[in-house]
């Protein structure tokens, strides 16, 4: 791939830093992908306490205090689709993924979505490169090395085109300012450079990576796992869904095992 631009190199350094600081909460995916479960609010006890609000003032402090009766209630609530108690537990993920994956992911609309914007910053100068497993179906390689060589060169040329032309535009803007043709920059976002970024981003491919904060409650997260971890889900989003599930299950193992039991019974 082409050389990383400054912000992309900084992002790569940040990913490495997060992996070193929080290895239990982070995963690398593909050639530049990344996902981290940055934070969560509530746990299995939150769900049980919410469900029992009309029947008792006693509150469970955490999942470690669960009795067998509590575990059975958690299962029954999830099995019988008593949804609102499961909306009281939230998760915030940060992920870096190809834009074509984001287009599938954003369809899960019952969540909060904050994405990196190419209106304000230059693109992440990295594109997704499918590895051999991603390019194969039942052992047959769909895209061979010759195609992949052209694929990579084409993507490199798009990033190079953006960098070259953004630099030319910025130089022309600066020159016109010196000549008094356009007004000087007055602070904040430069409208001239901003408009250039808005237009030049149009050439960016869906294989380019983007950066997202995703906040979601467990009820919606379970639906995401149910749909995107299925064998017939697209390979790339399935990788992210499997990684997100692994991070979630490490944090709330009882809720994860209960969900797995309910989903397995739903398939039967």
Question: In the structure, what pLDDT confidence band is assigned to residue 186 with cuts at 50, 70 and 90?
Answer: confident
Classify 118 as helix, strand or coil.
Answer: coil
Residues of the chain with pLDDT > 70, as a percent, come to 99
Cα(197)–Cα(204) distance, integer angstroms? 11
Reference 28, options 17, 19, 37; nearest CA is 19
Q: How many CB atoms lie within 10 A of CB 265?
A: 10
pLDDT at residue number 2: 64
Q: Calculate the CA 128 to chain-centre distance.
A: 14
Q: What is the mean pLDDT of residues 16-32?
A: 96
At residue 211, what are phi and psi to the nearest 5 degrees? -130, 125
Radius of gyration of the chain (CA): 23
Reference 14, options 40, 32, 39, 41; nearest CA is 32
Reference 33, options 111, 122, 95, 100; nearest CA is 95
What's the pLDDT tens digit per position in 87-139? 999 999 999 999 999 999 999 878 999 999 999 999 999 999 999 999 999 99
pLDDT at residue number 266: 85
* pLDDT of 248 over the 90 cut: yes
Cα(241)–Cα(93) distance, integer angstroms? 11
Which residue is listed with tokens 């870096």? 96
pLDDT at residue number 108: 87
Q: With contact defined as beta carbons under 8 Å apart, do 17 and 131 qualify?
A: no
* pLDDT of 35 over the 70 cut: yes
In the beta sheet, which residues pair with residue 113? 214
Q: What is the mean pLDDT of the chain?
A: 95
* pLDDT of 268 over the 60 cut: no
The verdict on whether 172 is a catalytic residue reads no
| CATH classification number, 6-42+89-267, choose in 3.90.25.10, 3.40.640.10, 3.30.1360.170, 1.10.150.310 | 3.30.1360.170
For residues 177-188, one letter each, b for 16 or more C-beta atoms within 10 angstroms of the residue's C-beta and e for the rest, the string is eeeeeeeeeeee
pLDDT at residue number 101: 97
pLDDT at residue number 3: 78
* pTM score of the predicted model: 0.93
In the beta sheet, which residues pair with residue 40? 91
Question: In the structure, what pLDDT confidence band is assigned to residue 161 with cuts at 50, 70 and 90?
Answer: very high
Catalytic residue among 27, 94, 135, 228: 228
Question: In the structure, what pLDDT confidence band is assigned to residue 55 with cuts at 50, 70 and 90?
Answer: confident
For residues 106-138, one letter each, b for 16 or more C-beta atoms within 10 angstroms of the residue's C-beta and e for the rest, the string is eebeebeeeebebeeebbbbbbbbbeeeebeee
Which residue would you say has higher pLDDT here, 189 or 173? Answer: 173
Question: In the structure, what pLDDT confidence band is assigned to residue 1 with cuts at 50, 70 and 90?
Answer: low
Q: What is the mean pLDDT of residues 44-72?
A: 93
* pLDDT of 177 over the 70 cut: yes
What's the pLDDT tens digit per position in 72-95? 999 999 999 999 999 999 999 999
What would the DSSP string read from start to end of 29-48?
Answer: ETTTEEEEEEEEE--HHHHH
What would the DSSP string read from start to end of 155-167?
Answer: HHHHHHHHHHHHH
Angle formed at CA 51 by CA 47 and CA 52, multiple of 5 degrees: 120
Q: What is the mean pLDDT of residues 235-250?
A: 98
- Give residue limits of the domains in the chain: 6-42+89-267
Q: With contact defined as beta carbons under 8 Å apart, do 119 and 255 qualify?
A: no
What's the pLDDT tens digit per position in 192-215? 999 999 999 999 999 999 999 999
User: 61 is written with which tokens?
Assistant: 């402090």
């Amino acid at each position: 791939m082409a050389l990383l631009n400054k912000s992309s190199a900084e992002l790569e350094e940040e990913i490495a830093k997060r992996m070193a600081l929080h290895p239990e909460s982070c995963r690398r995916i593909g050639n530049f992908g990344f996902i981290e479960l940055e934070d969560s609010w509530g746990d299995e006890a939150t769900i049980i306490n919410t469900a029992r609000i009309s029947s008792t003032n006693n509150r469970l402090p955490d999942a470690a205090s669960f009795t067998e009766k509590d575990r059975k209630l958690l299962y029954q609530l999830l099995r019988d689709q008593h949804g609102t108690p499961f909306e009281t537990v939230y998760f915030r993920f940060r992920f870096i993924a190809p834009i074509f994956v984001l287009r599938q992911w954003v369809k899960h609309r019952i969540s909060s979505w904050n994405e990196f914007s190419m209106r304000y910053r230059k693109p992440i100068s990295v594109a997704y490169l499918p590895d051999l497993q991603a390019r194969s179906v039942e052992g047959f390689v769909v895209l061979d090395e010759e195609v992949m060589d052209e694929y990579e060169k084409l993507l490199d040329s798009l990033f190079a085109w953006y960098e070259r032309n953004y630099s030319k535009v910025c130089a022309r803007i600066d020159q016109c300012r010196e000549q008094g043709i356009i007004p000087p920059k007055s602070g904040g976002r430069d409208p001239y450079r901003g408009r250039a970024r808005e237009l030049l981003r149009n050439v960016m491919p869906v294989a380019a990576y983007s950066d997202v904060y995703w906040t979601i409650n467990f009820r919606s997260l379970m639906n995401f796992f149910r749909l995107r971890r299925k064998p017939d889900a697209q390979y790339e989003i399935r990788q992210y869904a499997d990684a997100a599930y692994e991070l979630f299950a490490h944090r709330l193992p009882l809720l994860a095992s209960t969900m797995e039991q309910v989903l397995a019974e739903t398939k039967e």
